[in-house]
Structure 1
Amino acid sequence: MYFFTDKGVYISSIESLPSNPQGGAVITRILVPTDGSERAEHAADFAIQLASDTGAELLFINVIDEVAPAFGYELEAGVSLDINEVTEQRRRYGEEAVAGLARKAEAAGAKAATSVIEGHPWQEILAEADRSGADHIVIGSHGRRALAAALLGNVAFNVIHGAKVPVTVIPWKE
């Protein structure tokens, strides 16, 4: 099912959503992946409003891309960073990103939790949706790699096609 709205496209392989006695769809836990970009924050703003409207809980996650331990980062000739140091910096950045969104959600009256995970982003997003019991995913159409992706970001594309729950994709408008 595809539903287009002025705020984004709602995409679901699910034929029907659980409903409440009043006939509306029930959303209890919304998974919101973020890479800390403005684009991801734009999607998070939509999720925060949705949670405020429905009473759903939010789970903001940041996935640190796995980097093979044999590789480091070379900054310039002869200068390199240890992979553990890079991973720790990325973890701190991810923790700051999800904590900032959680504060924003709580200020809007929504309950929020956070998590930082290591792995392949789209795979970990889908795994966390299962682990956490999320019944909805809100994701930005492009993250930091916007120029490298065609119509949808690669992460969003894979999440849409692998999700067992409805996915709302929020486009970036400059």
Structure 2
Amino acid sequence: MKLLLAVDGSDCSLRALEHVIGLAAQWRTPPEVHLLHVHPPIPLGRVQVHVGKETLAAHYREEGEAVLAVAQQRLAQAGLAYIPHLHVGLPAEVIAHQAELLAVDQVVIGSHGRGALAGLLLGSVAQKLAHLLKTPLLLVK
């Protein structure tokens, strides 16, 4: 089983992480876990005038690594191997693209993320993924 676990540091994504760990404990063969964090792009506009590309790239990398660190530590404690992925872009589109590129069997995410204006019933990323993905999507509350 090949899983793509997308995390954003929210409580829901941490519950999705714990759910994957619980599922893996029930399987005979541990899953191949691709751990993904997608940093939404900062609108460039006038920001580029004041911030260089290297500084912006460092910002994305530092924040992404901080989000992944919690999940990486927990997966390691559970004895699960993982492959970390950091990307910048629109989260739903990047997750769907990575799911196809990596040929995963399932995508696992929290039902609500850190988005300021998340959907009322489902997070906006979850709603978009439901339409974009060709593979099964597991939403964890």
Structure 2 residues not aligned, in runs of 5+: none
Residue 44, structure 1, aligned to residue 17, structure 2:
yes
- Kept after mapping to 2: 8 A contact 1:52/1:110: no
- Matched AA of 1:128: Q
Count of residues in correspondence between the two structures: 138
More helix by share: 2
Structure 1 segments (4+ residues) deviating >3 Å: 83-87
- In 2, distance between residues paired with 1:65 and 1:165? 23
**Overall identity of the aligned pairs, in %:** 28
- Give, in angstroms, the shift of residue 146 of structure 1: 5.7
Q: CA RMSD in A?
A: 2.2
Residue 102, structure 1, aligned to residue 75, structure 2:
no
Give the one of 122, 127, 135 matched to 1:165.
135
More strand by share: 1
- In 2, distance between residues paired with 1:121 and 1:71? 23
Give the one of 94, 99, 105 matched to 1:124.
94
For normalisation by structure 2, the TM-score amounts to 0.85
**Structure index of larger Rg:** 1
Helix, strand or coil at the partner of 1:148: coil
Helix, strand or coil at the partner of 2:87: strand
- Kept after mapping to 1: 8 A contact 2:36/2:84: yes
Q: Which structure exhibits the higher relative contact order, with contacts defined as CA atoms closer than 8 Å and separated by 6 or more residues?
A: 2
- Matched AA of 2:32: E
Q: Which residue of 1 aligns with 2:47?
A: 72
Residues 117-171 of structure 1: CA deviation (Å, up to 9, x unaligned) = 1111100000111111211111111111265321100101111221111111011
